[in-house]
Structure 1
C-alpha cells in the first residue's frame, strides 16, 4: 500500500472514479450544502477530487469541532505506543491524585477505555450535556471528574465532550506536554501538516471557544488543549489524518500509529462507536468517521482504500453529510470497479 499521498491532481477516471458522479456531487453541494467550504477525496493514495466553495481554498482552516475527538484518540494511541501511558485499562482517577472526591465506587473503576468509548455514567440526560456550565468553571477537569460515575452504569453509551477533555488532561499528565504540543511533535509534523501555534486566549466567550474567534487549538483556563472540540485544520490536513488510518498507521514512510491501535479504535460494536470514532455499516460497506458540528467530517472507507474529508463553516443543524457519501461519492467508485 502506498505510504505517501500523491497531491498532484489526477483524472478521476484514471483511478476508478466516475467523473459524471463527481460532477453531480459538486452541483448538489452548491445547491443544498451551502456551508461546505472544501471537500477532498483520496483514493489509492492519489488526490482524486478537490473542490473549494465560498471563496475558500487549500490553506483555509476550519474549526473542525468534534473531529478533534478522533485526533485526540490518535494521540492517546501514540502515547501508549511510546510508553507514556501503560494501557487503556489504567484508572482515570490515578492520574489526578491532587483531587479528592466523595466516596463513589463507580468513579474509582472508570478507565481510559471508558472515556474513549463514551461508556462513562454522567448525571445529565443523553445529548443534553451542559457544556455552558463546563466553560464557566475555573477548573474544567475537577468539574468533570466530579460528575463522572453518577446516574447510570459503566458500559452504557453516553456521549460526553467533557469526558474527552479529561483524556486531554491525562495526555498532559503522562507526557508533560499539552495535546497541541504533543500532536505537533508526534502526529502533525510526521504527517506533513502545519504545526499548530500556541495562541493565547484572553476571553472565554462563545466566539472564543466555539465561534468566529477560534484559531489554532482552544485551551481551558489551566492550559489543557480542549479534548472534545477546538482544533482548526485545513481540509487537506483532515484528509492526511484519515489516510493515516486507512494506511494502518503509516504515512510518508513513517510509522506514526500502531496497527493494533487503529484496529481497536475502529472495531465494530453494538454502540456503533469506537475510540472516539463513529462506526457505520451500510449496504454491507463498513466505514468509520470523525464527525464534528457544522458538518465537518473525515470518512474512512477501508474496502475502497478511500478517505473523504469535508471542511465546513459552523451552522446550526447542517444537512447530514452521509447522503453525499451514499448517493454520489461511494457510487462514483463502485460503479467503476
Structure 2
C-alpha cells in the first residue's frame, strides 16, 4: 500500500512539480525516502535561494553563543562605526540585529531595488543607505536581498573572518556538509548561468568578497536535511551542541507576521507554519521543513523557475501522510 502511495506521489511530482531536483524524508533521524529528478543525484548541489537566510540565522546564533556578538538587540550601526548617517536620518540608529532577523526594519524604498544590489560595488553600504526612512520599526517588511545581507557584514565585522570560513568551522564541517568555495559572479550572464548548473557548488560572494546572506548558497538535499535535523534535535549533532537550544527555540517562534503572504508567521529568518512545524523557504521551491510533533524533516531541492508551485501543500497533502506513521 505504501509503495502505491509513493508511486502516486512521484506521478504528482512529475506532473505538477517538474523543477524538483531532489527530495529527502526523515523521521526520528531515519531516512525513509530519497529520490532525484532532472539529471540530479545526491551529490549535486542546487542554489537554495532564500534558504540561505535560515543558515545565516544559525550563524548569527553561533556568533552570539561564542561571544562575538553580545546579543540580537545590538544596534546595526554598532558594527559599522565608519558609516555616515544621512542628515536628518534617525530611524536607522535604532535598528537592531533582531529587526533584520525578523524582517521588522523599515527601508527607504517602496520596492526593493534588486538590480542595484546585484550590480553594486559595495552592497552592504548601499543596503545601509536604504535602511531606515519614515517607516516604523517593528512592522513586517520583507527584504529579500539588501537588509539580510547586512547580517553578513555584521558577521565579518564581529568575527574578523569570512562568513564561509566561520560557517565551515562552526556549522558545515561538524555536519559534514561540503560548501567548498566562494562563487564569484562577475556579470549578469554568469549570475544566470549558475542558478541551475548542477556542477556549481559553494557560496556566492558580493563585489567586496562577502558571502551573500539573502541568497547564493548551494546545498544538496541531504545538506538541507542535516540543517533540519539539527534544528529538530535542539541544535545537537553527534552529541555536540552546534547551535544553542535557546537560539533555535527563539528562531522558530513567532516574532512578526507577513499579511501579504497568507498571514504567515515569521521567526528569525525562518517561516513558522503552525504550532508544530516551521520551514526555510527559497525561490523555485527549495524547502527545509521541520515538524517537531511528528519528528519529521523533509528537504526539497529545486531548480529556479518563476512562480513555483507551493511545496508546503505538496509536503502536507502528499508526503507527510505517507511517511508519518
TM-score, length of structure 1 as denominator length: 0.89
* Unmatched runs of 5 consecutive residues or more in structure 2: 258-264
Pairwise CA distance, 1:21: 3.2
Pairwise CA distance, 1:248: 0.3
What is the aligned partner in structure 2 of residue 30 from structure 1?
Answer: 14
- 2:311 matched to 1:325? no
Counterpart among 286, 289, 297 of residue 296 in structure 1? 286
Q: Give yes or no for contact 1:248–1:258 (8 Å, CA) kept in 2.
A: yes
Q: Give yes or no for contact 2:140–2:256 (8 Å, CA) kept in 1.
A: no
- 2:303 matched to 1:313? yes
Pairwise CA distance, 1:269: 4.4
The residue correspondences of 1:41-120 to structure 2 (distance < 5 A) are: 41-102=25-86, 103-120=88-105
CA change 1:124–1:202 in 2 (3 A) is closer
- 2:244 matched to 1:247? no
Deviations 1:234-290 (A, max 9, x none): 110010011100010011222100000000000134510000001112xxx531111
For 1:151 and 1:51, locate their aligned partners in 2 and report how far apart those are by CA, in whole Å. 49
The residue correspondences of 1:1-337 to structure 2 (distance < 5 A) are: 18-102=2-86, 103-125=88-110, 128-160=111-143, 161-199=145-183, 201=184, 203-205=186-188, 207-208=190-191, 211-212=195-196, 215-269=201-255, 271=257, 272-281=265-274, 286-334=276-324, 336=325
SS at 1:97's partner residue? coil
SS at 1:291's partner residue? strand
Deviations 1:169-200 (A, max 9, x none): 1001011111111111100000111142234x
Q: Give yes or no for contact 1:21–1:329 (8 Å, CA) kept in 2.
A: no
For 1:297 and 1:202, locate their aligned partners in 2 and report how far apart those are by CA, in whole Å. 24
Q: Give yes or no for contact 1:287–1:299 (8 Å, CA) kept in 2.
A: yes
Deviations 1:98-143 (A, max 9, x none): 1111242211000000000000001223xx3111111222111111
SS at 1:294's partner residue? coil
| Bigger mean CA offset, 218-227 vs 102-111 | 102-111
Q: Give yes or no for contact 2:179–2:201 (8 Å, CA) kept in 1.
A: no
For 2:230 and 2:209, locate their aligned partners in 1 and report how far apart those are by CA, in whole Å. 28
Q: Give yes or no for contact 2:201–2:219 (8 Å, CA) kept in 1.
A: no
Alignment RMSD (CA, Å):
1.7
* Unmatched runs of 5 consecutive residues or more in structure 1: 1-12
For 1:307 and 1:113, locate their aligned partners in 2 and report how far apart those are by CA, in whole Å. 26
Pairwise CA distance, 1:314: 0.6
CA change 1:323–1:216 in 2 (3 A) is same
SS at 1:308's partner residue? strand
TM-score, length of structure 2 as denominator length: 0.92
